[in-house]
């Protein structure tokens, strides 16, 4: 039996991955896995769920108008049963918004990172 990771990475750019219907153009699970690996993460089921949530949020909002606080609150609400934003910080130690957006192929909202300090959200 193949893992979800193997199935996701096996999909190329040729067809939109049905598990990520809101992913930005050019984004693939393989690219996400490579970005995560470079950042010291191995993506598991919970990571993929969080990446899907980021894609869905961005699809519902205009990328230029994404508000950091609103996105943070939306993630807290969506993952409340799993431990909320605290759980997401365990999954994405570089910040569920900042690091999560990098891996999801999305532009992090203003204020999510501070180049002098590092990820903050």
Report pLDDT digits (tens) over 75-110: 999 999 999 999 999 999 999 999 999 999 999 998
pLDDT at position 110, please? 84
Assess whether pLDDT exceeds 50 at residue 12.
no
CA distance 40 to 91: 11
Report pLDDT digits (tens) over 42-82: 999 999 999 999 999 999 997 678 999 999 999 999 999 99
Assess whether pLDDT exceeds 80 at residue 16.
no
CA distance 28 to 42: 15
Specify whether the CB–CB gap between 8 and 51 falls below 8 A: no
């Amino acid at each position: 039996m193949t893992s979800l990771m193997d199935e996701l990475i096996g999909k190329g750019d040729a067809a939109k991955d049905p598990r990520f219907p809101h992913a930005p153009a050019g984004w693939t699970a393989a690219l996400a896995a490579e970005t995560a690996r470079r950042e010291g993460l191995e993506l598991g089921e919970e990571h993929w769920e969080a990446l899907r949530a980021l894609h869905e949020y961005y699809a519902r909002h205009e990328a230029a108008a994404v508000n950091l606080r609103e996105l943070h609150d939306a993630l807290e609400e969506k993952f409340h049963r799993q431990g909320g934003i605290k759980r997401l910080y365990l999954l994405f130690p570089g910040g569920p918004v900042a690091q999560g957006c990098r891996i999801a192929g999305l532009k992090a909202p203003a204020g999510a990172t501070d180049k002098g300090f590092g990820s903050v959200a």
